[in-house]
Amino acid sequence: MTQSLPPLNALRAFEAAARLNSFSAAADELHVTHGAISKQIRQLEDWLGLRLFERSGGRVKLSETGWRYLVQIQDGFDIINSATAQLREPSAQRRLVINSTPTLAMRWLLPRMGDFQRANPDIELRIATSDRDITRLDAPFDIAIRRGPGDWPGYVSQPFLEEWELPLMSPALLERHPVKKPEDLARHTLLLADTRPTAWPRWLTLAGVPELKPAASLQFDHFYLALQAAIDGLGITLGPLPMMQHELNAGTLVAPLPTPVVPVRGYCWIVPRSQMDDAAVNAFCNWLERCQAPAGQSASLPDSVSTPGRD
Amino acid sequence: MTQSLPPLNALRAFEAAARLNSFSAAADELHVTHGAISKQIRQLEDWLGLRLFERSGGRVKLSETGWRYLVQIQDGFDIINSATAQLREPSAQRRLVINSTPTLAMRWLLPRMGDFQRANPDIELRIATSDRDITRLDAPFDIAIRRGPGDWPGYVSQPFLEEWELPLMSPALLERHPVKKPEDLARHTLLLADTRPTAWPRWLTLAGVPELKPAASLQFDHFYLALQAAIDGLGITLGPLPMMQHELNAGTLVAPLPTPVVPVRGYCWIVPRSQMDDAAVNAFCNWLERCQAPAGQSASLPDSVSTPGRD
DNA sequence: CAATCAATGTGAGTTAAACTCACAGAACAG
DNA sequence: CTGTTCTGTGAGTTTAACTCACATTGATTG
């Protein structure tokens, strides 16, 4: 957490000077003397053990290192700043705010949400997306959706969707570069996502090829991009079922290797305990629980994928 | 920026005490006395003009307000913390890092990226997504893609994709609720995205119905979700062309009202000046510039959309 | 060229924030 | 009841932040 924070006041002086590219302008902004700024920045540089500014002839120029540092800490200060501003001006919230992981929103919620809209025309929604742990969210929400089960004190949560993973790719790619056994993946581009760092290593291990090196890899920060890349034929992703069942049924994606099918954590809705009496919240959660896809729809698989017992 | 930051040292004491739910534990962690923590938190509360903890009988309990504040400022501190840690341990980067807006990644880059892969099999990519201004990014990148033109000192930028907007919806929704003139939008759900706050007001104004109120609205933090919601038949979004031309051609989406077509800022690639000699960077930028869709493909429009002069 | 200006650097001194210490009060457990 | 643990607070101490005045440097101007 805060175990190795630099001197914060000095950091503040640095941010201003770096942004303004001028110690005296920073001094003006912070209502101190230029000498104070000069010293604070020196202090910070000494603390860090490196130079953040290049100095020449009574002028300073932000170094490359300093610039990289600036763009990062600015975010930190901005967040603190806006958190503080929000604290001072309470905002009224009128619509149901759902905070979902992006992939689940794209591939599970939106395709089915027409049903919710028709059943609840008086409930307006806002969908915000994040992979963050709910305790780390910037904005309040009525319902969050995350992988679970999890430990969320002060919240009520309930699983509503299970998940297991297996390789998915586009039919066109499969036709161009057939995949009949796990070893064939070595000739492919694997699609990786920051949010699921252990997915491929785990699958490859269970498939008996832990040392397999792909021909190439394409990295994404979010999984929904990896899924879209698979649909666009860029490579092979580990795909979640039943979330992608619709794409399998439609033939947009195929599962070339039906085993191993790796069970992973599913999804839970998470609601602040204080919101549990809200009718709209309850309507949405009930709807989530009723969304499970019918079992055993595997017509488009090369072989029949055994779907683990769900009845 | 940093104009209204609370006393940072006090804030740090608050974060520790709130996280640990104990002033004395916070004192231990920060290597000060409990009295110091008590006073710092008092100072912060006075500065803010509100109570962050509920006190009873020599015990403290984080208030609801305090909790909301905690989860937000923790992010800020975490960012500063990890920026500082990164500064101290340089990390080697090996692949071309593209930082794109999510919508452009999903709808323009990924569908075409197979071409880039085939032409450049030795260039591995990482796609990160963000709507932030490039000066506010957490992580370094080789190439950023943002709406432009913009003012990016220290960078080289080049427009590569123009854009204009008009309403898009799914054919199924159009059939269910026909749209023949702008006023008909009043019976529909409009899809809104934080990243394009003025899009609908501007379009409605140009369409001559500035006061139009939709039957409902569905809000998203990101535009790519609004586009997916339109494809899933949840409502009408303002859709960008030529980005969504493929969906129009395929009949996944239709444009019920061909005018007004609103020109908006297009996209530029943005590269740090220091990276301009990199062959991989140049290959990607050149590819971006060659990606323009062929002009005049409007077979799926109810009426022929006049595509502004592009030849 | 010299003079001027604007910028940062720095030592000594001053001020204000941060902190300690010791005592106080409250709640809980045994 | 006593002992323990926790936060609260006034007085005093320490330290970080700051000012002030002078110094240095490079750019600009005449």
- Spans of all domains in chain B: 8-88, 96-116+132-162+268-289, 163-266
pLDDT band at A91 (very low <50, low <70, confident <90, very high): very low
**Alpha helix segments (H runs only) across chain A:** 8-20, 23-30, 34-48, 64-88, 102-104, 110-119, 171-176, 199-206, 223-231, 245-250, 279-289
Distances (CA, A) of A246 to A111, A223, A292, A311, B240: 9, 17, 12, 20, 26
B89 or A76, which is more confident:
A76
Q: Which of A111, A118, A19 is CA-nearest to residue A71?
A: A19
Interchain contact, B126 vs A219, CB within 8 Å: yes
To the nearest whole angstrom, how far is the Cα of A22 from the nearest Cα of chain B?
16
Beta strands in A101-173 (DSSP E): 125-129, 143-147, 155-168
Nucleotides of C under 7 A from a protein CB: 6-11, 17-22, 24-28
Surface-to-core class of residue B38, CB atoms within 10 Å of its CB (0-12 exposed, 13-18 middle, 19+ buried) = middle
3-state SS assignment for residue A12: helix
- Stretch A268-296: mean pLDDT, rounded? 79
Residues contacting residue A123 through CB under 8 Å, at least 6 positions apart:
A95, A96, A116, A280, A283, A284
Q: Is the pLDDT of residue A163 over 70?
A: yes
Residues 39-98 of chain A with CB under 8 A from chain B are 48-50, 64-65, 67-69, 71-88, 95
3-state SS assignment for residue A260: coil
Distances (CA, A) of B242 to A94, A276, B167, B262: 35, 45, 13, 12
| B8-88, CATH topology level | Arc Repressor Mutant, subunit A (1.10.10)
ipTM: 0.54
Question: CATH homologous superfamily for B96-116+132-162+268-289?
Answer: Periplasmic binding protein-like II (3.40.190.10)
To the nearest whole angstrom, how far is the Cα of B28 from the nearest Cα of chain A?
12
To the nearest whole angstrom, how far is the Cα of A288 from the nearest Cα of chain B?
17
Residues 205-224 of chain A with CB under 8 A from chain B are 216-222, 224
Asked if residue A44 keeps its beta carbon closer than 7 A to nucleic acid strand D, the reply is no
Query: Is it true that B8-88 and B163-266 share their CATH fold?
Result: no
How far is residue B231 CA from its own chain's centroid?
20
pLDDT band at A90 (very low <50, low <70, confident <90, very high): low
Amino acid present at B200: W
Low-confidence ranges of chain B (pLDDT < 70): 1-3, 89-94, 138, 292-311
- Indicate the angle between helix axes B279-289 and B110-119, nearest 10 degrees: 130
Question: What pLDDT score does B300 carry?
Answer: 35
- Stretch A273-279: mean pLDDT, rounded? 82
> How many CB atoms are closer than 10 A to CB A28?
15
Question: What pLDDT score does B104 carry?
Answer: 92
To the nearest whole angstrom, how far is the Cα of B113 from the nearest Cα of chain A?
7
pLDDT band at A93 (very low <50, low <70, confident <90, very high): very low
B16 reaches A (C-beta below 8 A) = yes
Residues contacting residue B256 through CB under 8 Å, at least 6 positions apart:
B167, B169, B174, B178, B179, B180, B236, B302
Which residues share a beta bridge with B44? none
Q: Is the pLDDT of residue A40 over 90?
A: yes
- Stretch A148-171: mean pLDDT, rounded? 87
CATH among 3.40.50.2300, 3.40.50.300, 2.60.40.770, 3.40.190.10 for B163-266: 3.40.190.10
Q: Is the pLDDT of residue A187 over 80?
A: yes
C1'-nearest nucleotide to the CA of B56: C26
Classify domain A95-305 by CATH number. Answer: 3.40.190.290
Which chain B residues are Cβ-neighbours of A6 within 8 angstroms? 80, 84
To the nearest whole angstrom, how far is the Cα of B255 from the nearest Cα of chain A?
20
Considering only A118-127, A298-307, B102-111, which range has the smallest mean pLDDT? A298-307
CA distance linking residue A227 with residue A240, whole number of Å: 9
Give, for B2, the enclosing helix (H) or strand (E).
none
CA distance linking residue A87 with residue A255, whole number of Å: 49
Which residues share a beta bridge with B146? B268
Interchain contact, A48 vs B84, CB within 8 Å: yes
Q: Is the pLDDT of residue A133 over 70?
A: yes
A153 reaches B (C-beta below 8 A) = no
Question: What pLDDT score does B274 carry?
Answer: 81
User: Closest to B232 (Cβ–Cβ): which among A77, A114, A125?
Assistant: A114
Asked if residue A120 keeps its beta carbon closer than 7 A to nucleic acid strand C, the reply is no
Q: Is the pLDDT of residue A75 over 80?
A: no
Asked if residue B252 keeps its beta carbon closer than 7 A to nucleic acid strand D, the reply is no
Question: What pLDDT score does B138 carry?
Answer: 58
B111 reaches A (C-beta below 8 A) = yes
Q: Is the pLDDT of residue A86 over 90?
A: no
CA angle centred on A135, ends A132 and A136, rounded to 5°: 50
Question: What pLDDT score does B58 carry?
Answer: 79
A52 CA to D28 C1' distance (Å): 28
Pick from B51, B77, B110 the residue to mutate for testing the A interface (most A CBs within 10 Å).
B110
Question: What pLDDT score does B59 carry?
Answer: 83
Interchain contact, A12 vs B5, CB within 8 Å: yes
User: Closest to A48 (Cβ–Cβ): which among B87, B117, B219?
Assistant: B87
Give, for B78, the enclosing helix (H) or strand (E).
helix B64-88
Question: What pLDDT score does A190 carry?
Answer: 94
pLDDT tens-digit readout, B55-70: 887 788 888 788 878 8
Asked if residue A30 keeps its beta carbon closer than 7 A to nucleic acid strand D, the reply is yes
